[in-house]
């Protein structure tokens, strides 16, 4: 899986899955892209593309949805397979009742 996060100024920050033997410490492409961007001081995002080498589209997992919401807000989520299947959603559709600073 790969991800490309776009800032509101058009800069692209990429990420890929970083897997390891313990699975629980694996990082998804979406979180890698967000953490790379934030570590470089980027803060305003409008879209993320998630591309998989699969027959089926893959939406961000629960932890990725949470991180995307907290750091990016209600951005566009573009899902695509290498075979050309595509779908675009808003993050709010994937995470309708987010946990964020309003809950603290």
Enumerate the active-site residues: 30
- What is the 8-class DSSP label of residue 103? G
Phi and psi angles of residue 74, each rounded to the nearest 5 degrees, phi first: -85, 70
Tokens of 1: 């899986």
Q: How far is the C-alpha of 25 from the C-alpha of 9, rounded, in Å?
A: 32
């Amino acid at each position: 899986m790969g991800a490309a996060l776009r800032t509101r100024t058009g800069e692209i920050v990429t990420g890929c899955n970083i897997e390891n033997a313990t699975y629980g410490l694996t990082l998804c492409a979406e979180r890698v892209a967000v953490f790379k961007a934030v570590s470089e001081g980027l803060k305003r995002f409008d879209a993320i593309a998630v591309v998989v080498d699969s027959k089926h589209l893959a939406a961000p997992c629960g932890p990725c949805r949470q991180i995307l919401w907290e750091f990016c807000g209600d951005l566009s989520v573009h899902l695509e397979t290498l075979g050309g299947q595509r779908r675009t959603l808003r993050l709010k559709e994937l995470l309708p009742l987010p946990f964020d600073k309003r809950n603290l």
